[in-house]
Amino acid sequence: MHVEALCTMAQLAGGWSKKPVDDEQVKTMALFAVPHVQGEINHSNFFKLSSIDDVEAQVGTGSDSDGYRGWLVVSGMNYRITMTLEQTTSDKAAATQEGCEHQTASPAGKVQCTVVVYDQPWTGKREVTSKSCGEVQY
């Protein structure tokens, strides 16, 4: 059992691990990414978040003052998020305005996007480092 735990720890340290799709921090990262993927969608309308389909996170590792090697984030966290977006009636230019309500188009086109959001909360740095969108995969 000790060997199994070490193997699991080695696999996860610096690697990707699953996160719950309903986590508030995950939702924050997904909403942050939505405006950044609009250019990947070949449509004049704005697409809003419909669902978060899959999430993985990657953390850095380091040592604390006691020399214990554990889950200490030393450089930030990456969130790899697969999400479904749905077409709205707003055009992309109008969608950049704060507080703008976006009504779902009828029928709404949908796209699935995968993004990587890098977050370093103690410095306020947050950026989309990778993005791609395509047809929804069922």
Q: What is the pLDDT of residues 73-112, one digit of tens each?
A: 458 999 999 999 999 888 887 766 555 667 877 777 899 9
Is residue 92, in this structure, part of any structural domain at all? yes
Number of separate domains in the chain: 1
Domain housing 119: 16-61+71-133
| CATH value at residue 45 | 3.10.450.10
Is residue 41, in this structure, part of any structural domain at all? yes
Q: What is the pLDDT of residues 105-122, one digit of tens each?
A: 777 789 999 999 999 999
Please give the helix or strand (H or E) that residue 37 lies within, else none: helix 24-37
pTM exceeds 0.85, yes or no: no
Closest among 97, 81, 90 to 43, alpha carbons compared: 90
Is residue 121, in this structure, part of any structural domain at all? yes
CA 99 to chain centre: 22
Is residue 76, in this structure, part of any structural domain at all? yes
Instruction: List % helix, strand, coil for the chain (3-state, nearest 5).
Output: 20, 45, 35
